[in-house]
Amino acid sequence: MKLISKLTISILTILFVMTGCTPALLKYQLDPGFDAVKEAAGTAKIVAVSVVDLRKNNERSTLNGKIAINGIEADAKVLQAKLIEKLKRENYKIISKPLLADIAFEIEINKLSLLIESGTFKSVIQGQSEFKLTVNKHSERWSKIFRATRTQEVANPANNLDATGVINQMLTKQLATAFSDPALADFVSKEP
């Protein structure tokens, strides 16, 4: 009888540990930094901002044992709101019509994904991002595609804070690279 009880407890413990390592429905919350955007805006006073998500509808799915993690809100909507918020704090006037702005930023999200692979004692979170930054200044246009990846191991069970940290660190670095690109600085400083 004691043997059966110990065996049952051992099996339940193993199942508890295994299911504890399986990621629950994880969500990330976008809040990347836009520290270099002031450099990219240059001397412009009136700015237009647009963020468009060109990805197909990415429902929660699995890929080779990896589980996709999605954002709490629509990624494009959040990125646009955060960028506008940063520009307003820097005293730029934000308008919705790019043709009337001194400078217009458009970000097209081609890829933004976060996958988690759960192991026995640790999980691996992998992020990938690709977006096209287009800047319109009067009748001239500049654009470039920027890519980033980030992989991080975390202790099990992975949680929303782990997912949020990985995606925001990746995007903050990618956006800083984009908005401080030397070719963009040359384009913005060029007189019309």
Sketch the domain layout of the chain as residue ranges. 24-189
> Rounded to whole angstroms, how far apart are CA atoms 75 and 167?
11
> Rounded to whole angstroms, how far apart are CA atoms 180 and 176?
6
pLDDT at 24: 57
Cβ of 24: how many Cβ atoms within 10 Å?
12
24-189: CATH topology is: Double Stranded RNA Binding Domain (3.30.160)
Give percent of the chain above pLDDT 90.
Answer: 64
| Predicted model pTM | 0.82
DSSP string, 46-113: EEEEEEEE-S----S-EETTEEE-EESS-HHHHHHHHHHHHHHHTT-EEES-GGGSSEEEEEEEEEEE
All residue ranges of the chain with pLDDT < 70 are 1-24, 57-65, 192
Q: What is the mean pLDDT of the chain?
A: 86
pLDDT tens-digit series, residues 52-67 = 999 876 544 555 667 8
> Rounded to whole angstroms, how far apart are CA atoms 109 and 79?
10
| Closest to 53 measured CA to CA, from 128, 115, 133, 110 | 110
Amino acid of residue 169: Q
> Rounded to whole angstroms, how far apart are CA atoms 97 and 99?
6
